Amino acid sequence: MPRYLTMVRIDEKNAPAEGPGPELMERMGALIEEMTKAGVLLDTAGLTPSSEGTRVTWSGGELSYTDGPFTESKEVVGGYAILQAKDKAEVLEWTKRFLQVHEEHWTVTSEVREIAEG
Note the pLDDT tens digit of each residue in 12-36: 877 777 778 899 999 999 999 999 9
> Rg of the chain's alpha carbons, rounded to an integer?
16
**Which has the closest alpha carbon to 5: 34, 59, 44?**
44
Cβ atoms of 50 and 76 closer than 8 Å: yes
Cβ atoms of 49 and 73 closer than 8 Å: no
The residues near 61 (Cβ < 8 Å, ≥ 6 apart) are none
Note the pLDDT tens digit of each residue in 43-92: 999 999 889 999 999 999 999 999 988 777 778 899 999 999 999 999 99
Whole-model pTM? 0.86
Cβ atoms of 85 and 2 closer than 8 Å: yes
All structural domains of the chain, each given as residue ranges with its CATH number in brackets, are 3-114 (3.30.70.1060)
pLDDT of residue 12: 80
